[in-house]
Amino acid sequence: MRTDNTMPRGLPAAQGLYDPRNEHDNCGVGFLCHLKGRKSHDIVVNALKMVRNMDHRGGCGCDPDTGDGAGLFLQLPYKFFRKAAPACGIELPEDGQYAVGMIYLPRDAAERQQVEAAYEQVVRDEGQSVLGWRTVPVMGETLGKASKACEPVMRQLFVGRAANLKTDQDFERKLYVIRRCADKAVAALNLAEADSFYTASLSARTILYKGMLTTSQLDHYFPELHDEDMQSAMALVHSRFSTNTFPSWPRGQPFRYMCHNGEINTVRGNANWMHARQMLLGTGVLGKDIGKILPIIDESGSDSAMFDNCMEFLVLSGRPLHHAVMMMIPEPWERHQHMSQAKKDFYEYHACMMEPWDGPASIAFCDGVSIGAVLDRNGLRPSRF
């Protein structure tokens, strides 16, 4: 049974035949991209159309206006923020020199101020600058009773990049550290509305618009998604069906690097092994910040959220995105007659480092630069293109 500090947010305690450790998802997932990386609003429009067409893959309660979750993952729309940020008194530096965090905050104004102050302090402690906050316009009246009852306040935090961070990936690593430190700082506040705090995304490359929504509510709840300057060259979408789980705002997908349909059956063992290995980690590119991001796996998350935790760590510790995916979901390579020896050697080498994250799952992944998808090792959750 979970201890209080690892209880999934918004879920009841273990009781009778129910145990929150057995949470799994069955969902709709998809992505669009322009093969030459050309940004446009059409990508956003068509991604929203795609997620609406996956309505049958999403769940809702007896209240049909309360959905299990729907979300959209985009490249950071610089053109849109050039227009939206100054209206909030925020002066932006050049594209790539700032990040935007999509942050869920408590409804209580006093608690919200405490969270924002704690977050700002972490940003400054990590050598970055706070450019300002923007309240995200939402249409809360579109929500059902259950989702409205736990609706957070959505605010965007703009973070300026320090001059000593030479590469874009260095900045992404620092934002990773900031987010993990902010989680700990806010947890230490012991707020009454602690479950309302969640950082959906904090990146200079990507942003997430998601929530406890139905697929048809997503673009109505976030009206700025219809703005012509909301542009991206790639987009992930997700429609959540919590067949044996409880919906919540933070559990909506996509996550920060992926979204998936299915379940990771081996997640308990995967999380335990990651926890066991993290004390042996070398510093590498994360340097002295390595201790700030531990534990790597947030066990209050779902199976897909824990998968995302691991993928994020592998990418930000220096591996290309596709490399991390192949480590986590290797093909059945041992007796593959047509696989090259070099590829078999790759899988055999990494089998010494990590066990497969196994189970029936179709996973789409993106880091704002490249995008792709992968099936489970047995192809039990097929996808098509």
Q: Could you report the per-residue pLDDT of 333-350, keeping only the tens digit for each?
A: 988 989 999 999 999 999
Catalytic residues: 27
Confidence class of residue 61 from pLDDT cuts 50, 70 and 90? low
pLDDT greater than 50 at residue 6:
no
pLDDT tens, 160-199? 999 999 999 999 999 999 999 999 999 999 999 888 999 9
Q: What is the pLDDT of residue 5?
A: 44
Contact call for residues 304 and 315 (beta carbons, < 8 A): no
pLDDT tens, 206-259? 999 999 998 999 999 999 999 999 999 999 999 986 655 577 888 889 999 999
SS3 164: coil
Task: Name residue, tokens 């050039």.
Answer: 82
Q: What is the mean pLDDT of residues 72-91?
A: 97
- Alpha-carbon distance of 75 to 41, in angstroms, equals 11
Provide the β-strand partners of residue 130: 159
Dihedral sign, CA of 48, 52, 56, 60?
positive
Going by C-alpha positions, the residue among 198, 199, 195, 201 that lies closest to residue 236 is 201
Contact call for residues 305 and 298 (beta carbons, < 8 A): yes
Count other C-beta atoms under 10 Å from residue 38's C-beta.
11
pLDDT tens, 296-320? 999 888 889 999 999 999 999 999 9
pLDDT tens, 129-138? 999 999 999 9
Q: What is the pLDDT of residue 57?
A: 54
SS3 195: helix
pTM recorded for the entire structure: 0.90
Averaged confidence pLDDT in the chain: 90
